[in-house]
């Protein structure tokens, strides 16, 4: 019988935050594939696990995936782990999972640590709906365009960011999204974990006082405030359309008069214009 590919979450900080089942799978699996074998060795020593692991990361997955698939076909279970949290969530593993599924091999995921859910739960932001967006682009122009695509979304935004880009990311978010409520979660579950909550401008000011920003970071930002659509918004759109107003003029008026999100204002304008 072929083996099973197990996706095993590992702690995001405190090594005790691993499930009993996760330890059982890592102890029994003939093959552990780790994003960083040195990092995994530290976790293995803490829990008395076999420390042997093969590397599986962004730079070698093309070569490593066929080797792991061969082990699965031969009947060996393979446990995939990343440096922290659940595999595939802004971490390598998707190519291996897709290849295994394409061959009809068994793939199962264990529940466990997730920086996304941990930060969201403690942020004070509305937990549902939320949208996890991974790492924003590295350059300012692309980052602002990235946030612009989220400007009308009512879902709470959850993102990862490198500490050396955190100040710039918060500044760009404020410029594009407005001065929303937000939370910066750093070093979660570690002895020096820190949650900073407030408006984006307040978080910028707080970070400006730090000589060097450190710590693995998750950002949570409140979603767009969507006002209840007034019942006469469609009527106004129809009247403007009858007067010959352009779709753009109608949309701008509806957004200003009724407090509609830009996307919704354009939808009403196009409907009224018969576009």
Map 100-145 to HEC letters: HHHCCCEEEECCCCCHHHHHHHHHCCCCCCEEECCCCCCCHHHHHH
Q: pLDDT at residue 215 above 90?
A: no
Decide: 183 and 125 in contact? Cβ < 8 Å.
yes
What is the per-residue pLDDT across 4-22, written as a single tens digit (0 to 9) for each?
999 999 999 999 999 999 9
Q: What is the mean pLDDT of the chain?
A: 93
Q: pLDDT at residue 227 above 70?
A: no
Q: Determine the pLDDT at residue 229.
A: 58
- Domain residue spans of the chain: 4-113, 116-221, 233-273
Contacts of the segment 202-205: beta carbons below 8 A, 24+ positions apart: 203/170, 204/167, 204/170, 204/171, 204/174
What is the per-residue pLDDT across 124-165, written as a single tens digit (0 to 9) for each?
999 999 999 999 999 999 999 999 999 989 999 999 999 999
Residue with tokens 């405190």: 14
Q: What percent of the chain has pLDDT over 90?
A: 79
Domains 4-113 and 116-221 share a fold: no
- Which token pair is 15? 């090594």
Q: How many whole angstroms separate alpha carbon 211 and alpha carbon 205?
A: 12
Beta-strand relationship, 217-221 and 181-186 = antiparallel
Q: How many whole angstroms separate alpha carbon 58 and alpha carbon 93?
A: 8
Decide: 215 and 196 in contact? Cβ < 8 Å.
no
What is the per-residue pLDDT across 159-187, written as a single tens digit (0 to 9) for each?
999 999 999 999 999 999 999 999 999 99
CA atoms within 13 A on the CB side of 274: 4
CATH number of 4-113: 3.40.1010.10
Decide: 113 and 86 in contact? Cβ < 8 Å.
yes
**Which of 192, 208, 270 lies closest to 238, judged by CA?**
270
Superfamily of domain 116-221: Tetrapyrrole methylase, C-terminal domain (3.30.950.10)
What is the per-residue pLDDT across 84-99, written as a single tens digit (0 to 9) for each?
999 999 999 999 999 9
pTM of the model: 0.80
């Amino acid at each position: 019988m072929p083996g099973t590919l197990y996706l095993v979450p590992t702690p995001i900080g405190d090594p005790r935050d691993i499930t009993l089942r996760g330890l059982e799978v890592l102890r029994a699996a003939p093959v552990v594939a780790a994003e960083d074998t040195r990092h995994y060795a530290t976790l293995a020593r803490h829990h008395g696990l076999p420390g042997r692991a093969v590397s599986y990361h962004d730079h070698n997955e093309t070569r490593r995936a066929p080797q792991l698939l061969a082990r699965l076909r031969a009947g060996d279970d393979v446990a995939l782990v990343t440096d922290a949290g659940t595999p595939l969530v802004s971490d390598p593993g998707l190519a291996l999972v897709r290849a295994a599924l394409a061959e009809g091999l068994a793939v199962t995921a264990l529940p466990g640590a997730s920086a996304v859910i941990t930060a969201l739960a403690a942020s004070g932001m509305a937990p549902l709906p939320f949208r996890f967006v991974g790492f924003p682009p590295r350059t300012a122009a692309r980052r602002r365009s990235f946030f612009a695509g989220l400007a009308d979304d009512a879902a709470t935004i959850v993102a990862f960011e490198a500490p050396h880009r955190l100040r710039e990311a918060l500044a760009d978010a404020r410029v594009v999204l407005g001065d929303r409520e937000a939370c910066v979660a750093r070093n979660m579950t570690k002895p020096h974990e820190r949650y900073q909550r407030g408006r984006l401008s307040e978080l910028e000011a707080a970070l400006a006082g730090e000589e060097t920003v450190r710590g693995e970071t998750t950002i949570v930002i409140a979603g767009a405030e969507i006002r209840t659509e007034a019942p006469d918004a469609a009527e106004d759109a129809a009247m403007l359309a009858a007067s010959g107003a352009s779709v753009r003029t109608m949309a701008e008026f509806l957004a200003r008069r009724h407090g509609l999100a830009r996307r919704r204002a354009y939808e009403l304008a196009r409907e009224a214009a018969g576009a």
